[in-house]
Structure 1
């Protein structure tokens, strides 16, 4: 059963506060695509970072943070993680792993602190990402997020398409 929007937002705020991470949460109309969300927020699609929950073969997970105009490079991510197999879980497993529904997933306030792998293209950027609830976006300085969670920074993306 999905959490109420306030629950997700409250978890995000509490987790950010616990790590002294400065975030800004903005309400926005529901978007039907990432480019539409970027337009609503007045930023480039690359400024929205997709938080992807990735399942390992041992049934543990990780977060991959990828710029909105790019996609995961599976060979690059597998090499950085040091495994032969990774996959995207179905929506229910993603919810079970994070406490967030797809489209709202963010490492901040996740029900489990899975390791974070951030694409090196987000370094030095103020980024937007899911906020734990539909109809909201979270803004954070990527470097602060990376530091607060001890994320691994590497080239893990490729051109979308």
Structure 2
């Protein structure tokens, strides 16, 4: 099960976290209220295709979106794309809306936007399930690269 895999990976990482279960939500504001954090502390995990069979996770705070020019410049590539839902599930083990680097079937590289800090809430493998963690612990546990890769929505 996806949630169990994500929680087990969080436990194995050794970082402190709290799981919140709230069911499906329909907006960023609703998710933030259900998780007890600011909208900017909701972390979206996006899967990006860098090349054939080459993916990465980009952690984006609520209210922001990937800046493709910044991400391409950081990675030194000319083209990138977001995989379709079926491919995203194949390469992560999670369906869209539940994707997290924790417990993904492949430990793809992680890039975390530099605006993410403090206490944050990241998906935990199932709809309406999240883990509240410290952003610095996420960087350490995932070996994430922190960089300026987003812009306001």
Normalising to structure 1: TM-score of the pair? 0.90
* CA–CA distance in structure 2, aligned partners of residues 108 and 59 of structure 1: 20
Q: Which runs of 5+ in 2 are unaligned?
A: none
Name the count of aligned residue pairs: 153
Q: Which runs of 5+ in 1 are unaligned?
A: 1-6
* CA–CA distance in structure 2, aligned partners of residues 18 and 43 of structure 1: 24
Match of 2:131 in 1: 138
Mapping of 1:96-111 within 5 angstroms? 96-111=90-105
SS of corresponding position for 1:121? coil
* CA–CA distance in structure 2, aligned partners of residues 150 and 110 of structure 1: 14
How far residue 111 of structure 1 moved from its aligned partner, in angstroms, is: 0.5
Moved over 6 A (4+): none
How far residue 29 of structure 1 moved from its aligned partner, in angstroms, is: 2.7
Mapping of 1:113-124 within 5 angstroms? 113-123=107-117
How far residue 23 of structure 1 moved from its aligned partner, in angstroms, is: 1.8
Match of 1:4 in 2: none
Taking only aligned residues, the RMSD between alpha carbons, in angstroms, comes to 1.1
Match of 1:155 in 2: 148
* CA–CA distance in structure 2, aligned partners of residues 107 and 156 of structure 1: 17
Q: Which moved more, 1:42-51 or 1:149-158?
A: 42-51
2:5 counterpart of 1:11: yes
Match of 1:76 in 2: 70
